[in-house]
Amino acid sequence: MSATDKPVVLFGGGGFVGRRVAQELLSKGYRVRIAQRMPRQAMAVRSLGNMGQTQLLAVDITKPGQVAAALAGAGAAVNLVGLLKGDMVSAHVIGARNIAEAAAAQGLDALVHVSAIGADPASNSAYGRTKGEGEAAVRAAFPGATIVRPSIMFGQDDGFTNRFAQLIATGSSVPLVRAVPLIRGETRFQPVNVADVARAIAQAVESPETFGGQTFELGGPDVMTLAQINHWIADQIGRKVRFLPMPDGLASALAAMTGWAPGAPITRDQFRMLLHDNVVAADAPGFERFGIKPAPMAALAPAWLTHYRRQGRFGAPVRA
């Protein structure tokens, strides 16, 4: 699809991943239409392109009429909508189906659906189950869609490395305690740079004849346990802290308190997700199909983790 032809609609384009996808497409000359429930949350995207290159629309993806209107005159669409809590059926299944059906009805050249590793209609977590059901709905309505399943994504303003760094910094500052609880420390992840995922999505938009109708799992070059990730972050921010492995029974009980106990560290559904590794399947096509060599977390994350040192970027050097 030519960048000078029709706009690309990014559902949820003002979010963590969407902003990178928008930046990638804008840099290639595409016009981008951001469609989400609260467009003001995507105002920062306007500064990424030239005047008139970006349009913001208020769209509720559970309403087929609004979805169809957002896709009017478009050449491609990317569904980036995802929730870790709340009404996941509406977001991941109903909304995904509405987007795919409207994209098919309007004859779009390309549809990219962003799912997640672990998406499975038989999953015991609501997130994994609804993501799996959403994939099935997309495939049924738009067989030529490209589905991408990233592992946990990192980036300067992520909710992953920053969240752990904040917890570690806080725990290390408590006198006499200097400890942080660790839930499911043995669970494995394959952290992936959000910018690399955005590059793959942009390629899928550009070349549906190459990537359409396929599912790709995108993970970084390193597989790490949650315990290893926490220890690495603690080293990077120069914080001496003890990690206290939390038994599954206690962690599950704490997760069950979410909703009325402010101190509950994760939701029950997030705990269920942690019962399974979040790594690319051995036989799954991935970044190699896009010609992308993903960047390791160790090469990029230290640049923003310095904020969590005691003296910020002027803090003591960290261990390699």
Low-confidence winner among 139-148, 149-158, 242-251, 290-299 (lowest mean pLDDT)? 242-251
What phi, psi does 54 have (nearest 5°)? -125, 135
Question: pLDDT band at residue 248, thresholds of 50, 70 and 90?
Answer: confident
Which range is least confidently modeled, 47-56, 126-135, 151-160? 47-56
Predicted local confidence at residue 263, as pLDDT: 46
Other CB atoms within 10 Å distance of the CB of residue 303: 10
Provide the 10 A C-beta neighbour count for residue 122. 7
Task: For the chain, give the percent of residues with pLDDT over 90.
Answer: 69
Q: Note the pLDDT of residue 250.
A: 85
Q: Are strands 224-225 and 188-189 parallel, antiparallel or unpaired?
A: antiparallel
Burial label, 52 (beta-carbon count in 10 A; 0-12, 13-18, 19+): exposed
Question: Full-prediction pTM beyond 0.85?
Answer: yes
Q: CA 191 to CA 83: how far, in whole Å?
A: 19
